[in-house]
Amino acid sequence: MELILTREQGRVIRARTGFYDVQHGDIVLRCTLRGTLKRKHRSETGRRLYADPVAVGDRVIFTQLDPEEGVVEDILPRQTKFSRQYAGKQGDIEQVIVANAHQIVAVVSTLMPPLNFRTLDRFLILAEAGDMEAVICLNKMDLVDAPQRDELIKTFTNYEKLGYRVLYTSIHIPEGLDTLRHILRDKFSVIVGASGVGKSSLLNALQPNLGLRTGEVGIRTQKGRHTTTLVELFPLDIGGEVADTPGIREVGLWGIDTENLEYYFPEMEPYLGTCKYSDCAHVAEPDCAVQDAVESGEIHAERYRSYVVLRTGDMAE
Ligand SMILES: Nc1nc2c(ncn2[C@@H]2O[C@H](COP(=O)(O)OP(=O)(O)OP(=O)(O)O)[C@@H](O)[C@H]2O)c(=O)[nH]1
Ligand SMILES: [Mg+2]
Ligand SMILES: [Zn+2]
């Protein structure tokens, strides 16, 4: 007779709404959620609190039903989470994209799609809010010439000064890939970034047996085609694990009080408390030390632009 597992611990490696692939040793079971668990993740009025109560990376307690299926009984507390704000039918709710990761690798591309600092800064803030380290990966370096390359490296030095590790990669250049491999080794990482920046391609380049699907970027639109459609966790041959994620269209901030947004911008710290008004939002107020620091170049203009966009809720960018 087959052994049926009861209340064992497993790990969610794939999530599709309502169904979760839970790994336990060598077996993977397709699981649903126990009704009591679903109710636990609703407010008293029955409103949903999460886009989905379970995320990839979650450690769960499950019971097996048959050789292929099971049911998730409980979710163990999360160490970290990578969440965004999700526009649900009943208002904004939290979407946990990956739970328990050590670090995020925020991928942007030089061109195709064009470099977007707003998106990058949103990812960095979400990493901080979720208690994870963040590494920046500027991909598609093969698409720029030497002077453009130098200019980009100069711009990204600013992020290095803020304490972020910056990698310059191309799927066609082995050097940067070696550094990326080194960064991912023995850690649980989550790869994030807009559609088409090359997240899945980078993982394939590091480990061809992953065989992830990749898609062309539209020449006219300069946008990716949302080729990866679900979050999936993979073990790496070199040790560690990585979650590939779909390109997110709107990186809505979650778990961040915009009134305190300046604390997510480490470069602003030296100036806080020195503006004329103690409740200065550093957007249009007179005698603002932060705005002065932007003027004098001590705070990078692109970073400040991100701050203003997020602080004022201007979603134009
Ligand atoms: N020239 C160049 N092209 C690249 C590089 N990396 C990826 N690409 C191309 O970019 C396109 C998009 O790559 P994907 O790996 O599908 O991008 P993704 O970030 O996974 O996109 P989604 O799954 O849609 O979020 C593909 O045509 C890749 O071949 C690179 O370093 N250089
Ligand atoms: Mg992909
Ligand atoms: Zn100010």
* Domain region containing 121: 99-244
Q: What is the pTM of this model?
A: 0.93
In the chain, what percentage of residues exceed pLDDT 70? 98
User: How many Å lie between the centroid of ligand 1 and the Cα of residue 267?
Assistant: 32
**Does residue 103 share a domain with residue 191?**
yes
Nearest C-alpha to atom 9 of ligand 1 is from which residue?
198
Helices (H), 115-145: 117-129
Question: In 3D, which of 192, 176, 201 has the Cα closest to residue 104?
Answer: 192
**Does residue 234 share a domain with residue 143?**
yes
The answer to whether 192 and 82 are in contact (CB under 8 A) is yes
Distance CA 196, CA 225 (A): 7
Q: Is residue 130 part of a domain?
A: yes
Q: How confident is the model over 81-125, as pLDDT tens digits?
A: 999 988 877 778 888 999 999 999 999 999 999 999 999 999 999
* 42-56, 152-166, 184-198: range with lowest mean pLDDT: 42-56
Question: Could you tell me the CA-to-CA distances from 64 to 4, 15, 54, 115, 266 in Å, in that order?
Answer: 6, 17, 17, 46, 47
Q: How confident is the model at residue 256 (pLDDT cuts 50, 70, 90)?
A: confident
| Nearest ligand 1 atom to alpha carbon 225 | 24
Q: What pLDDT was estimated at residue 251?
A: 85
140 lines ligand 1 (CB under 6 A): yes
Orientation of helix 301-312 relative to helix 146-161, angle to 10°: 60
**Does residue 155 share a domain with residue 212?**
yes
Q: Is residue 180 part of a domain?
A: yes
User: How many Å lie between the centroid of ligand 1 and the Cα of residue 158?
Assistant: 25
Q: What pLDDT was estimated at residue 41?
A: 77
Q: Is residue 84 part of a domain?
A: no
247 lines ligand 1 (CB under 6 A): yes
Strands (E), the chain: 8-16, 19-24, 27-33, 59-64, 69-75, 81-88, 91-99, 103-109, 133-139, 165-168, 188-192, 232-235, 241-244
CATH code assigned at 294: 1.10.40.50
**Does residue 104 share a domain with residue 72?**
no
Tokens of 108: 């942007």
Mean pLDDT throughout 240-246? 96
Q: What pLDDT was estimated at residue 317?
A: 55
Question: In 3D, which of 159, 157, 140, 163 has the Cα closest to residue 214?
Answer: 140
Q: How confident is the model at residue 316 (pLDDT cuts 50, 70, 90)?
A: low
Q: Is residue 219 part of a domain?
A: yes
134 lines ligand 1 (CB under 6 A): no
- Give the count of domains, the chain: 3
**Does residue 162 share a domain with residue 69?**
no
CA 70 to chain centre: 29
**Does residue 175 share a domain with residue 64?**
no
